[in-house]
Amino acid sequence: MRVFWREQPIEVAMWLQKRVRLGYVGSEFRAANALTPSGDGYIGILAAQHRPTESQLIFSRDVGHHTSGWFKNPDYERCEHLSIAYRDSETGEFFGRQKWDITRDWLRLFFGDAMRLVWTEPPFTDQGKHDGVYHFRVFYSEAWLAPILPRGEVYSKELTEVGWKSFSEVRELRERAMGPR
């Protein structure tokens, strides 16, 4: 994770966007859990701290929400994903809440005009709740051509192709095929 001590927020956003959009990350890792030459994991090379605003950011391009069996609606297959938490600059302790005025500024920097399409998720896990990590996603058309407002609900099968199975359904079929252990 890179720490920005004096840079402007726009410099942080541009640094993370370049790593993600220009494929810089792709040349640095072999698998999602691999270590990079710098010793950082995949997430570490997509993360930044901005000390002046006490922001901790992770920015990634995520693919496979539908094909992995997570979301039923294929419109939710790919997104740009920004996670934000806030830490005390002196102690490193998480505040456990968002600073919404600063968060809005980050969203404008990362998503620009597509900010109106941002899908916001509050923390889910106990650790995420403790740290106050929120997730912001903008979904994209195939080949990343343009941001989209997905049609329908994430778990709706209305647009799902015939024969699609969720991860749970695939696992259940596999377990039945293998028989009792």
Q: Residue 165: pLDDT band by 50, 70, 90 thresholds?
A: confident
- Average per-residue pLDDT for the chain: 84
Q: What is the share, in percent, of the chain residues with pLDDT greater than 70?
A: 86
Long-range contacts of 14-21 (CB under 8 A, 24+ apart): 15/48, 16/46, 16/48, 16/57, 16/59, 16/110, 17/59, 17/110, 19/45, 19/46, 19/59, 20/46, 20/59, 20/60, 20/61, 20/80, 21/61
Query: In this predicted model, what pLDDT tens digit does every residue of 33-59 receive, in sequence order?
Result: 444 444 455 566 789 999 999 999 999
Tokens coding 25: 């990350």
Q: Residue 73: pLDDT band by 50, 70, 90 thresholds?
A: confident
Confidence check: pLDDT of 168 > 90: no
pLDDT of residue 13: 97
- Host domain of residue 52: 2-178
User: With a threshold of 0.85, does the pTM exceed it?
Assistant: no
Number of domains making up the chain:
1
Query: In this predicted model, what pLDDT tens digit does every residue of 102-118 receive, in sequence order?
Result: 999 999 999 999 999 99
